[in-house]
Amino acid sequence: MVYNTEMSEKNITGESIWSDIWDFIKTLLISMTVVFVLADFVIRPIRVDGSSMFPTLKDGSLGLANVIGYRVSGLKRFDIAIIYLSDKKEYLVKRVIGMPGDTVEYRDGRLFINGELTEEPFFDSAYKESYSGVFMQDVSAFELGEGQYYCLGDNRPNSRDSRYYGPFYKDQIFAKGALIIWPFDQAGVKSW
């Protein structure tokens, strides 16, 4: 049996142990930096809590939000927005209905943007029609200011959104869209 005494002596010395610890610390720091950069500038993990976006997004769904897409191209009407309420330390997932400068109004459950009837093609019509009560109550004409967005949940009867909080500001929105990873039967891109 051949025994490498040079190798065993090196492993016994404190120099080798500190070298291994330093390698571990460097790997950990590089990994944390990569995760931080990805989460802050590219994609961010999200979890859907509650039924306000049902049936588009289900309670407990896990996915990724598009941070870089939001920073590069901003928001469009009907994008899914990830909103952070710093005073409540709470994240919301809602759909952008009104853009800065728009006047938003709902009459008889129909959306009017700047006085013109606007279709909402993202709705699951079967779900909407199955609801026995008023799916969307009237909202008086509301004019959005600069940097303000009117955001609602897709499950209108069960959503706390701009009807409750008022308009959301651009600096409260940090990502858009959702790439759902779990549950597998819901996996896919939702307004990226």
Neighbours of 156 (CB within 10 A): 20
**Residue appearing with tokens 């309420």:** 85
The catalytic residue among 19, 31, 51, 52 is 52
Task: Please indicate whether residue 94 is annotated as part of the active site.
Answer: yes
The catalytic residue among 76, 86, 94, 190 is 94
3-state secondary structure 163-182: HHHCCEEHHHEEEEEEEEEE
Q: Tell me how far apart the alpha carbons of residues 167 and 103 are, in angstroms, rounded to a whole number.
A: 12
Q: Do 163 and 149 meet the contact criterion of CB atoms below 8 Å apart?
A: no
Task: Please indicate whether residue 52 is annotated as part of the active site.
Answer: yes
Q: Tell me how far apart the alpha carbons of residues 21 and 144 are, in angstroms, rounded to a whole number.
A: 55
Catalytic annotation, residues:
52, 94
